[in-house]
Amino acid sequence: MALLAHYYLPGLAVEDHAIDVPLDWRKTSPARAAADGLDAGARLRLFYRVVTTPENVGRDLPLLVFLQGGPGGAGPRLTGPDSDGWLPEALRHFRVVLPDQRGTGRSSHLSRHGLARVGDARAQADHLKRFLARSIVCDFEYLRLVVFGGRPWVTLGQSYGGFLTLSYLSLFPEGVAASFTAGGIPHVPANAAEVYARTFPRMAEKTRQLYARYPEDAARVAAVADLAASGDVCLPDGAPLTARRLQLLGSGLGMKPAFERLHSLFDVAFEDGDGTGGKTLTDGFLMGVLQSTTTASNPLYWTLQELIYADGALGEPLGWAAERVYQGRPEFSADARPLLFTGEAAFPWMFEEDPLLVPLAPAMDLLMADVDFDRVYDAERLAASEVPLQAAVYFDDLYVDSGLQLDTLSRVGASHAWVTNEFEHDGLHGTVVFKHLFDEALNRGDLEAVLRG
């Protein structure tokens, strides 16, 4: 373990650390590696922060590890105790551990540059497999054993962090004292096509809601899409602006205030006249589209998007499931008007047009045809779980279907669901959700052993 820095932010005491972890956990286990040391195989660097309030420095508070959403998302970068809505309540009770999942942030970073050094497409595809849930959870369990003395910790999973939570409970339930999730219970068994079959109708409805709130936007979006169809418009990085690239702007429609953000973006789309239409798009609009759809700051987001549903237990390839569902719904055609937006779904054309993704196309095609993936969930172990799990299930969640979440939770031992339609998918970032989950677990007695130490 290396202490890289110790410093204070307003209202926070922060330590930056890093440790080495194996690239490939199939050759060992966290417990064996913790007991015997790492072997000579390839390693990655795992970066993490430990955060507390200044008045709690030196106190032996219980641990809460935050499982970041994504996929491919780094841990939150804090500016103070109020920089994320769940944090103030968590800091009252815990030392908070904020890891950067492998491949993200200050952990060994993975992008097109690093993959180019790995080898051919097959080698790259196999390398990418090592950046999915099982490997991430093994990293965290090893961190718990080596750095924190094997003390069980509480997990808080946002979105994809909920997927990681069920993987953790499947693999190392002894490492978890209690779990909280928000908008992130996957369906077990995993099935990407089933997820997208439910997601696309919700995206259609979200788009209709957007146009109902801002009727002028339907015409503006159509006018931009028609200009893009000419093939003469490029984004600032040189990628073509197409109608299907515009559709990706819907990926944030499940989080507030997405309607207002999109409305504001299209409000300044045109150079001409009063902005209701024209033949020239503003540079600001084109930059806004690029910033909203690029993976420059999160290289693994679109790359791993569909792979989070890959499970060795399935025995069948993903086969670009989102693309297959998209093709079966003509109302989503790039030629259709009004133009419907798509959500969190990766499509093969993205790896043909986006300069940052083009180098990954051969590896992605191999992965979409592959069936050799790690087992992610253990249904029997989840059913027998005694780890208290408190889940916030957003009834209208755009990305993670509430019905599928509840079906899974009905088969997970010691689990409790709080179903609400008060929040969108990012509800955890407000001040209400985590406190509600914490209080429910506290009043049920699920945290007695944790807080007593």
Q: Which of 354, 425, 426, 446 is catalytic?
A: 425
Rounded distance between C-alpha atoms, residue 100 and residue 66, angstroms: 10
Amino acid at 451: L
CA dist 411 and 413 (Å) reads 6
Strand runs labelled E in 230-358: none
Q: Judge whether 425 counts as a catalytic residue.
A: yes
Question: What are the strands of the beta sheet with 12-22, ordered from one edge?
Answer: 2-9, 12-22, 43-52, 95-99, 63-67, 153-158, 176-182, 389-394, 415-420
Q: Which amino acid is at 118?
A: V
Residue with tokens 């992008």: 111
446 vs 318: CA distance, rounded Å: 38
Query: Which residue type occupies 182?
Result: A
159 catalytic, yes or no? yes
In the chain, what's the furthest Cα-to-Cα distance? Answer: 71
Cα separation of 207 and 217, whole Å? 10
Q: Which of 120, 272, 372, 439 is catalytic?
A: 372
**What does the alpha-carbon distance between residue 62 and residue 36 come to, in Å, rounded to a whole number?**
27
Alpha-carbon span 283 to 304, nearest angstrom: 30
Instruction: List C-alpha distances in Å: 256 to 108, 423, 430.
Output: 32, 9, 11
43: tokens are: 């390693």
The catalytic position among 107, 159, 170, 385 is 159
Catalytic residues: 159, 372, 425
